[in-house]
Amino acid sequence: MTLDSVPNRLAIKPANFIKLDTEGTEDLVLAGGEHMIAQDVLGLQTEIAFWTEQSGGVSFRDIDARLSAHGFVLFDLQLNRSDVRVIGGRKDKVRSGDALHLRNFDSLWSNDAD
């Protein structure tokens, strides 16, 4: 079942806010919800990763680019850090987190003028 098919299949209204935590497959869910995201959604909170070499999941930059193309702007980030031991002491590398994207209403109004 794709995100776009959920309203018809379950006889519910399309979502206006989506929270995704699908362990690295958020891009697949978003791809299956292109229509809903373009037409109905006002905000999305997604789990994000900055280092995807080991997990093979989707990176933050890919999610941000997809949502930006649909007129969303990054509103907030919550970051998780990894404890990395290096010469000279301990460093905490940004590893993952949650991103909140909200619809840029200016882009909606400017599209109406075209």
pTM of the model as a whole: 0.78
Which pLDDT tens digit goes with each residue over 66-75? 999 989 999 9
| 51-98: pLDDT as tens digits | 666 566 778 888 999 999 989 999 999 887 776 666 555 567 777 788
Bridge partners for 48 per DSSP: 97
Q: Tell me which fold the domain 3-112 belongs to.
A: Translation Initiation Factor IF3 (3.30.110)
Would you place residue 110 in the very low, low, confident or very high pLDDT band (cuts 50, 70, 90)? low
Over residues 6-53, the pLDDT tens digits come to 999 999 999 899 998 888 788 889 999 999 998 889 999 998 887 666
Q: Apex CA 25: angle with CA 23 and CA 28, to 5°?
A: 160
Using pLDDT thresholds of 50, 70 and 90, give the confidence band for residue 113. very low
Cα–Cα distances in Å, from 61 out to 6, 52, 66, 74? Answer: 27, 11, 9, 11
Q: HEC string of 35-56?
A: HHHHHCCCEEEEEEECCCCCCC
Q: Where are the domains of the chain?
A: 3-112
